[in-house]
Structure 1
């Protein structure tokens, strides 16, 4: 029996996820194959791992109709650009200037639709996750870096580049003298509040949950970032994911600090509980890549 299949890929700072599924949304979403996991090393090794895993899941007669790629950035995501998928200068060794989407399309003979990992996560959380039913949703990940995306009725905001909210500048506290972890800015959100930035403030073996003072600092900085997004994008909600946000009590602390940051002027935008939410999906980026691939397959 011939099967029409799609593949979804999420590349992150430390790991790469890949899953093969049916192209028909009305059928079982995933096949009886595992979600493949690989360490993020070089792009050449990623190609070997991904092509091998996807081809191993195909049976004779199967067709691979589309591939969804949710990638870390910065990269070109303009659908009209001939360089769509090209990785721009990045701190990750060997990845700058590499186009994983183009290589996979050539090696696997299927069209590749590409978004940033956070944009794919926003698509998934809006369609089937924590923000289901809302027309304007912001997704923010706080982990080894900080990234964000706005999804409007299934379409993500992009223009000259995708949003790079992690590099929005914050008001640094006067008592915060720890050097920024960002090589480009002294006071951007990523440099002050991403995992590496918080790690610089922790003693060996310490966790963020054990430091109420540091958790309050992180909540202040993340609330400033969320206030900027609320004022600039007016999303119905902001979904906050990533490893840092798994810290117990941090989401509530950010929500309380956000009310202070917005003041009376911004109160109508963040009215009611649940404006800040955690992801409902285990792998939001991968689920978004599946949705992207399925849409691409249905349009052919």
Structure 2
């Protein structure tokens, strides 16, 4: 999904929230590895995150573990109209907003178990568009729907990525 992108971000939302950033084909390394899951965001109204370090980080609000604690039931048991999905979209929309304005990401790829929910990426795109409020001007023919997407290899991306790292 990131082929041809100069700046690509992969975020996996599952038990926790992790991610990596690739710039011009090279992973971004700094003082420590990127901790996208601990990016601070505005929590949905009435929700307190579960992270022991921050009450308003992405991981403490949007991981499968956090959703289970916040709503007192496993996230894979939520009905389609459960309010957790709107809150998740809001939190991940805030995260995508930050990734857009800080990194000018050409691709933000959202994978992991929580992202398997049909329609959730569309909700995240809508939430991101709302907070960006037309601030980011896209090149002709491009839109936020082109930037925020799921892995091109679907649920096989983790396994195939691990295999690619073997010598």
Question: Quick check: 1:138–1:237 contact (8 Å CA) kept in 2?
Answer: yes
Secondary structure (helix, strand or coil) at the match of 2:135 reads: helix
Q: Is the 8 A contact 1:209 1:247 kept in 2?
A: no
Residue of structure 2 in register with 1:137 after alignment:
8
Equivalent in the alignment of 1:279: 151
> How far off is 1:154 after superposition?
2.2
Could you tell me whether the CA contact under 8 Å between 1:202 and 1:208 is conserved in 2?
A: no
The DSSP-based 3-state class of the residue aligned with 1:223 is helix
> In structure 1, what is the Cα distance between the partners aligned to 2:81 and 2:69?
13
Q: State the match for 2:128 in structure 1.
A: 258
Give the secondary structure class of the aligned counterpart of 2:136: helix
Unaligned runs of 5+ in 2: none
TM-score normalized by the length of structure 1? 0.50
- Counterpart of 1:74? none
Number of residue pairs aligned between Structure 1 and Structure 2: 163
The residue aligned with 2:55 is: 186
Q: Does 1:146 find its partner at 2:12?
A: no
Which ranges of 4 or more aligned residues in structure 1 deviate by more than 4 Å? Answer: 203-206
Q: What does 1:138-217 correspond to in 2, within 5 Å?
A: 138-176=9-47, 179-204=48-73, 207-217=77-87
Distance 1:201 1:150 in 2: 29
Q: Identify which of 104, 110, 115 aligns with 1:245.
A: 115
The structure showing larger relative contact order (alpha-carbon pairs under 8 Å, at least 6 residues apart) is 2
Per-residue CA deviations over 1:227-279 (Å, capped at 9, x if unaligned) read 11111111111110011111111110000111001112124387253221111
**Corresponding position: 1:228 with 2:98:** yes
Q: Whose helix proportion is higher, 1 or 2?
A: 2
Write out per-residue CA displacement over residues 22-57 of structure 1, whole angstroms, 9 at most, x where no aligned residue. xxxxxxxxxxxxxxxxxxxxxxxxxxxxxxxxxxxx
Asked whether the 8 Å contact 2:111–2:150 carries over to 1, the reply is yes
Taking only aligned residues, the RMSD between alpha carbons, in angstroms, comes to: 2.2
Q: Which structure has greater strand proportion?
A: 1
- Taking a change above 3 Å as real, the CA distance of residues 151 and 283 of structure 1, as seen in their structure-2 partners, is same
Q: Which structure 1 segments of 5+ residues have no match?
A: 1-129, 295-300
Shift, 1:136, TM fit = 1.9
